[in-house]
Amino acid sequence: MGLLLTLLAFVIAIGLLILVHESGHFWVARAMGVKVLRFSVGFGKPLLRWQRSPEDTEYVIAAFPLGGYVKMLGEQDGSELPPEQRARAYDQLPPARRFLIALAGPAANFVLAVVAYMGVALIGIPGLAPIVGTVSPGGLAQRAGLVAGDRILAVDGHAVDTWEDLRMDLLAAAVSGERLQLRVRSPEGRTELRTLSLRKLPPDSVGPGFVEKTMGLGPYLPPVVGAVQTDSPAAKAGLQPGDRILAVDGRPVFSWQDLARRIEAHPHQRILLRFQQRGVTQERSLTTEYVLDAEGHPQGRIGIVMAPLPADLIVRKERGPLAAVVYGARQTWTMSVLTVEMLGQMVSGRVSPSNISGPIGIAEAAGASFAAGLAPYLGFLALISISLGVLNLLPIPVLDGGHLLFCAVEMVMGRPLSAAVVQKAQMIGIVLLLMLMSFAFYNDILRLLKP
């Protein structure tokens, strides 16, 4: 069922993104008076096709779904068309109009992102409050003076409502600057500023695990027991659902991560737990179980599961229609800039290329967000649509950005590039695109092979 859900979410996402992208080209071409011969979602052998009459556009769903195209009259052989059809040929348009047709596809993806983020804003996504639960020794957060219990209020002046907002803002700041400033409210209630230096970060540090691994920050998860496994050390010691763990071996426990780390560090050893049960503080001595983690390292376990998060740690912010439009436009702009900066940092070597995902990684993300609900799935669609829009604007022949470059050169020179130059450039573009796709597949496979 999980695999089917993932495939369904992936097919819906890719189909919608391609449809929107190619529709941008289609409608602007039609508005320019160009005859569109074929509108295809997918490449290769047509599986389904529909055409109202021989003179109308042929609509196709093809076998290979990772892409699509709009085939226009005269796109390649306009010079051989009969005189009566020349007026509707793509290559007879001035370069400025061809520029707009090429631009329309990526622009449609950005519009889709705005609409998707508007949906996210209207629905609202429940998120974890941006309260620091763990600060790893030696991380950027500890060096900046952050402590467990701090609530992050803003990153470089931009207010954050949830831990996911914090994660994205920290990643954006890390990619674009050498330092960032956090406004925090301390556990004692004081509002303070913390400055983090981001100089000389290793290339593989900026990515999905940046907040946890490099900054050394984890969200606050209360050390409250949600379930106790039968015949486990915890059950034998009398722990019950709802118990709050206060200390391990006399050392206070602030978060669930603290608790897990201390228990895991004592495989098959005697530990002393202090906990609160129905308002009464108790202490129990127990021996942890000896288990191996995914990498074969020994760790302790006592057989408890974390309780669901309390309502005061869940933040759900819904916006009205006007605020949703503003949020959608701002979020699309922010993520677009972040995507461009990430690409630039990959070229310079500051950000690891391992952050590039292929179809497998996208499918996994699609399935996870789809299972989480409509708002997370809309957020996923917006992010992938932005990625597709930015990718297609790269000045690589065979992509829309390559067509934009050719049109711009023609406008400057006053004449088109020769067919031989265009053909050679397109061959180079195909090779670059195949290399990029191969690298994305390689990253997907490496992620699948990791334990």
Helix (H) or strand (E) holding 111: helix 95-123
Q: What is the mean pLDDT of residues 100-127?
A: 92
Residues 230 and 298 in one domain: yes
pTM for the complete prediction?
Answer: 0.73
Residues 216 and 238 in one domain: no
- Per the domain annotation, does 51 fall within a domain? no
Confidence band, pLDDT 50/70/90 cuts, at residue 109? very high
Residues 447 and 376 in one domain: yes
Q: What is the mean pLDDT of residues 338-351?
A: 72
> Where in the sequence is the domain holding 149, given as residue range(s)?
126-220+310-315
The pLDDT mean for the chain works out to: 84
Residues 191 and 213 in one domain: yes
- Per the domain annotation, does 332 fall within a domain? yes
Least confident of 170-179, 228-237, 251-260, 306-315: 170-179
Q: Is the pLDDT of residue 444 over 80?
A: no
Confidence band, pLDDT 50/70/90 cuts, at residue 78? very low
Q: Give the span between the Cα atoms of 389 and 412, in whole angstroms.
A: 25
Q: If you ran DSSP here, which 8-state letter would residue 356 be given?
A: -
Q: Give the span between the Cα atoms of 150 and 100, in whole angstroms.
A: 49
- Per the domain annotation, does 26 fall within a domain? no
Confidence band, pLDDT 50/70/90 cuts, at residue 1? very low
* Domain finish residue from 308, 329, 345: 308
Q: Looking at per-residue confidence, does 214 or 100 come out higher?
A: 100
Q: Is the pLDDT of residue 21 over 90?
A: yes
Residues 349 and 301 in one domain: no
Total domain count, the chain: 3
Could you give the residue numbers annotated as active site? 22
Tens digits of residue pLDDT in 175-198: 666 678 889 999 888 999 988 877
Confidence band, pLDDT 50/70/90 cuts, at residue 280? very high
- Taking alpha carbons only, the member of 305, 302, 289, 290 closest to residue 237 is 302
* Domain finish residue from 286, 315, 344: 315
DSSP output for 124-138 = ---EE--BEEEE-TT
Least confident of 150-159, 331-340, 420-429: 420-429
- Taking alpha carbons only, the member of 177, 211, 223, 179 closest to residue 338 is 177
Percent of the chain with pLDDT over 90: 31
Indicate which CATH number applies to the domain containing 280.
2.30.42.10
Residues 119 and 131 in one domain: no
- Per the domain annotation, does 38 fall within a domain? no
Confidence band, pLDDT 50/70/90 cuts, at residue 201? low
Tens digits of residue pLDDT in 126-176: 788 899 988 888 788 888 888 888 999 998 888 888 888 888 888 777 766
Residues 188 and 299 in one domain: no
Q: Say which residues have a Cβ less than 8 Å from residue 60's Cβ, sequence separation at least 6.
A: 38, 39, 40, 41, 42, 46, 48, 49
Residues 451 and 323 in one domain: yes
Residues 197 and 298 in one domain: no
Tens digits of residue pLDDT in 54-76: 888 899 888 877 788 888 887 76
Q: What is the mean pLDDT of residues 416-430?
A: 78
Q: Is the pLDDT of residue 427 over 50?
A: yes
Percent of the chain with pLDDT over 70: 88
Judged by DSSP in three states, 93 sits in coil
Q: Is the pLDDT of residue 204 over 80?
A: no
Judged by DSSP in three states, 411 sits in helix
Residues 140 and 191 in one domain: yes
